[in-house]
Amino acid sequence: MRNKEISKANQKMVSELLERVENMNSKEYKRILNSMAVFHEYSYLNQFILYCADASQVAGFKTWSQKYNRTVKKGSKAIWILAPNKVLIPIEEYKGSLTGVETVEKKGKTFVKLTVYKSVPV
């Protein structure tokens, strides 16, 4: 899947959730807020995506196996989120008529697709 496809699918899922917010009872609304509190280090969009996936704990494939000594269940569906990625972007800048064009590197942000898997009770 490409980042744009993931983004469109995730935005559709989140917009459907936000449309439901108006008609939610306080119990379901509190459940959303509790889910967001668990994933407070994630962006709001990713928090909603993880709520829609009914996740309580998530990690990447390697993290589950190496750090937590657990395996991802065969056939588990990945949850696709977009994570910021800081990169150096080469940019050509005009430095006056004497020096001409100079290439400098500036910090920028891009987004990379990231797969996470939710934990399964043992």
Residue 96: pLDDT above 80? no
The pLDDT tens digits for 99-122 are 566 666 677 777 788 888 887 654
Residues 6 or more apart whose Cβ sits within 8 Å of residue 16: none
Q: How confident is the model at residue 11 (pLDDT cuts 50, 70, 90)?
A: confident
The pLDDT tens digits for 72-83 are 888 888 888 888
Q: Report how far residue 10's alpha carbon sits from residue 13's, in angstroms, rounded to the nearest whole number.
A: 5
Residue 95: pLDDT above 70? no
Q: Give me the pLDDT at residue 101, please.
A: 63
> DSSP character for 73?
P
Q: Tokens representing 104? A: 């400098």
Task: Tell me the average pLDDT across 57-76.
Answer: 85
Q: Report how far residue 51's alpha carbon sits from residue 39's, in angstroms, rounded to the nearest whole number.
A: 9
Residue ranges per domain, the chain?
3-118
The pLDDT tens digits for 13-56 are 888 888 887 788 888 888 888 888 888 888 888 888 888 888 88
Q: Give me the pLDDT at residue 60, please.
A: 87
